């Protein structure tokens, strides 16, 4: 009987042997996937928008490709020109090899290539001399890639590694460098140019050889037209577009912020909100316009609920002195910005309340004798006044009761790292109250966000993939609320209106700080939804005489708050306990309310006597409805001979309110000091 050969079965066995051979080959000669995936670290904003990228070790831009973010028309045309059977072949296009061989034999030289996209990928990752042996190796490698990777993965690797001349690899880097745009929406002339350049990367570089690049592009356009992929009209229009020779820098937003987040060969999605970041960056630019080049700034803006960093200015610009430094991660003296935590811990310990009286007078703590910033003392004051006006002696006295070591430990346990600047002595511990420590802006932001979040401290979230950590109790909820109330009533910077006076404004609880010698100016604060910390100064630590936190940082903090979106609008406006109902604000009136002429807001009144025998101060105000009624700390001041004369009983801080007949009010916060309390002869 004649033997019948079953070709399908033999073919199946042959294919099986071939596959086993490929698998064995991969064990001996594995795919260089580590090299294939050696790509530029990329940082995106929370919406997936571009922030910054970084070159790989050899200085090449190799931004990973994502097919979902690439114009589909480009993919269609690329495959049509480079590898028409890409989606169906196994890495080696056998018909193309036969075609190339026949054309070579007829012409006596190579006329058309047979390299598939997969084989071109092999050549990009493992370059070799163009020999027959190298071609055979490329073919086997291509089969390996097809066996272990999907077509989409192969195409993405190809579009990541394909050379576009110079240090530009991949379509994303090419579109950013040559078109200043991403690759998701391309014109016909751009598509043709992106196909043409890799065919001769150095000879067709638009930044060096624009005419050669245009000729190569037009050849691709002609092929697309001949194959009816584009119309004749599209061909003619695209051919008329000039090729620019200008190479654009790879764009970057918040480069220093992105640098701190980048991960090798990875795409990181940050928590940065691009819209908030843009607004904050513009505010920073405007602020620095009038500052000398040696002055810089830094800011961190946190969404309280999620602890996500929504905007971050690590430096005001790399062209400024120290502009390459991330000042939000540098240890600087915080000035008085730690005082809210001192009083908060003391409140939690039951040592005091916001209404406790404390002495502000020259006091020595061992070898340490602090002074107030203005070299004046105010006698008996309440804790809320001491904090609101940042008095130094009361803060040190309270820290002595709390304990410098305990204070430092509680902060560090909550994720707020503090480094003593004066060693481990008792004096250095007490100096923490006045800025005798090093702290980073970001850690300070953790602390203020903790107050805003009811005393619960959590680490900042920088990546969208970061989970919200479990809270660490820094202060009790009741104490955090009391500290917040005090800070919300702090005097606003000149030219800024308190949030409670505006229906659209956000009420800000904030504290300023100035380090010794005017080296650092701080403003740290929060609203219901946001925490903001601002630092301005010289990165080299040189002094700036007269530049306090209130002058050089607080206005910028209020400008930032004005730009931030808000879902709520808490006023946190509170009357003095003894003030009558007439002090409540009246809405929807058309007339102008009263205006206090004397004493002006934040005035400092000097007197030689206190009590009923003192000469006193005459209050005056202007109002459309006629006379006004004055209250000091909620107590009405009676008129005498048509004049309102107030005689302070003691030094301290006072709240003066003028109320007209319609119940509308004006407020001045003042301080009164006695002549004998003036310590510095300059005053």
Catalytic residues: 82, 336
Angle at the Cα of 53 from the Cα atoms of 47 and 58, rounded to 5 degrees? 160
Angle at the Cα of 342 from the Cα atoms of 336 and 346, rounded to 5 degrees? 155
Burial of 675 (0-12, 13-18, 19+ CB in 10 A): exposed
Alpha helices by DSSP H, 227-270: 232-240, 255-261
Q: How far apart are CA 355 and CA 399, in angstroms?
A: 17
Q: How far apart are CA 539 and CA 314, in angstroms?
A: 12
Q: Helix 210-226 crosses helix 188-196 at what angle (to 10 degrees)?
A: 110
Q: How far apart are CA 154 and CA 104, in angstroms?
A: 29
Alpha helices by DSSP H, 414-553: 426-430, 441-452, 477-488, 549-552
Are 401 and 392 contacting, i.e. CB atoms less than 8 angstroms apart? no
**How many other C-beta atoms can be found within 10 angstroms of the C-beta atom of residue 314?**
26
How many CA within 13 A on the CB side of residue 21? 9
Are 519 and 543 contacting, i.e. CB atoms less than 8 angstroms apart? yes
Long-range contacts, stretch 490-496, CB < 8 angstroms, 24+ apart: 490/388, 491/388, 491/601, 491/602, 491/669, 492/558, 493/550, 493/551, 493/554, 493/555, 493/558, 494/555, 495/555, 496/554, 496/555, 496/558
DSSP character for 490? Answer: S
Q: How far apart are CA 470 and CA 448, in angstroms?
A: 17
Q: Residue 537 contacts by C-beta under 8 Å, 6 or more apart in sequence?
A: 295, 296, 297, 332, 519, 520, 521, 544, 547, 552
Q: How far apart are CA 620 and CA 607, in angstroms?
A: 18
How many CA within 13 A on the CB side of residue 589? 15
């Amino acid at each position: 009987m004649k033997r019948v050969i079953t070709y399908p079965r033999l073919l199946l066995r042959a294919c099986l042997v071939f596959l086993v051979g490929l698998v064995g080959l991969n064990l001996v000669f594995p795919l260089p996937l580590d090299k294939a995936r050696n790509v530029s670290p990329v940082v995106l904003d929370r919406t997936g928008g571009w922030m910054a990228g970084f070159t790989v070790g050899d200085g090449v831009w190799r931004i990973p490709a994502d097919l979902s973010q690439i114009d589909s028309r480009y993919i269609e045309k690329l495959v049509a020109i480079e590898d028409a059977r890409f989606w169906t072949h196994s890495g080696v296009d056998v018909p193309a090899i036969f075609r190339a061989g026949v054309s070579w034999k007829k012409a006596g030289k190579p006329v058309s290539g047979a390299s598939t996209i997969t084989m071109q990928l092999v050549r990009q990752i493992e370059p070799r001399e163009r020999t027959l042996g190298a071609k055979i190796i490329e073919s086997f490698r291509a089969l390996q890639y097809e066996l272990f990777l999907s077509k989409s993965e192969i195409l993405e690797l190809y579009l990541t590694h394909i050379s576009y001349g110079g240090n530009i690899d991949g379509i994303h880097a090419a579109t950013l460098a040559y078109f200043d745009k991403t690759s998701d929406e391309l014109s016909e002339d751009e598509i043709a140019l992106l196909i043409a350049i890799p065919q001769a990367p150095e000879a067709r570089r638009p930044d060096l050889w624009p005419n050669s690049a245009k000729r190569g592009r037009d050849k691709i356009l002609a092929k697309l037209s001949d194959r009816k992929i584009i119309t004749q009209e599209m061909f003619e229009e695209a051919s008329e577009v000039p090729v620019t020779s200008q190479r654009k820098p790879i764009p970057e937003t918040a480069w220093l912020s992105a640098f701190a987040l980048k991960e090798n060969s990875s795409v990181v999605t940050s928590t940065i909100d691009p819209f908030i970041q843009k607004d904050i960056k513009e505010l920073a630019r405007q602020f620095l316009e009038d500052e000398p080049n040696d002055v810089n700034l830094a800011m961190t803006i946190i969404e309280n609920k999620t602890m996500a960093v929504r905007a971050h200015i690590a430096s005001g610009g790399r062209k400024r002195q120290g502009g390459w430094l991330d000042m939000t991660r540098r240890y600087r003296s915080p000035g008085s910005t730690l005082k809210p935590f001192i009083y908060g811990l003391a409140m939690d310990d039951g040592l005091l309340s916001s209404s406790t009286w404390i002495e502000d007078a020259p006091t020595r703590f061992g070898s340490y004798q602090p002074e107030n910033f203005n070299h004046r003392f105010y006698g008996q004051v309440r804790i809320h006044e001491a904090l609101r006006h940042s008095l130094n002696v009361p803060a040190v006295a309270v820290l002595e009761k709390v304990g410098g070591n305990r204070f430092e430990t509680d902060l560090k346990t909550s994720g707020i790292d503090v480094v003593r600047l004066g060693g481990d002595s008792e004096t250095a511990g007490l100096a923490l109250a006045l800025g005798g420590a090093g702290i980073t802006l970001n850690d300070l932001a953790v602390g203020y966000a903790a107050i805003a979040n009811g005393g619960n401290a959590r680490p900042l979230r920088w990546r969208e993939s970061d989970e919200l950590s479990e809270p660490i109790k820094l202060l009790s909820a009741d104490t955090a609320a009391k500290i917040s109330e005090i800070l919300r009533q702090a005097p606003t910077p000149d030219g800024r209106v308190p949030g409670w006076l505006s229906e659209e404004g956000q009420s800000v609880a904030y504290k300023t700080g100035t380090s010794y010698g005017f080296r650092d100016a701080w403003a740290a604060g929060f609203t219901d939804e946001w925490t903001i910390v601002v630092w301005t100064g010289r990165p080299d630590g040189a002094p700036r005489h007269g530049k306090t936190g209130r002058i050089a940082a607080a206005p910028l903090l209020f400008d930032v708050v004005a730009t931030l979106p808000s879902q709520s609008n808490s006023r946190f406006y509170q009357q003095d306990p003894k003030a009558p109902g007439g002090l409540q604000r009246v809405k929807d009136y058309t007339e102008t309310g009263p205006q206090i002429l004397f004493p002006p807001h934040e005035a400092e009144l000097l007197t030689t006597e206190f009590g009923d025998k003192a000469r006193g101060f005459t209050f005056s105000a202007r109002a459309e409805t006629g006379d006004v009624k004055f209250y000091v700390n909620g107590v009405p001041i009676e008129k005498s001979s048509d004049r309102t004369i107030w005689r302070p009983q003691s030094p301290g801080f006072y709240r003066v309110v003028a109320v007209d007949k319609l119940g509308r009010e004006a407020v001045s916060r003042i301080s009164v000091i006695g002549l004998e309390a003036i310590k510095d002869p300059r005053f």
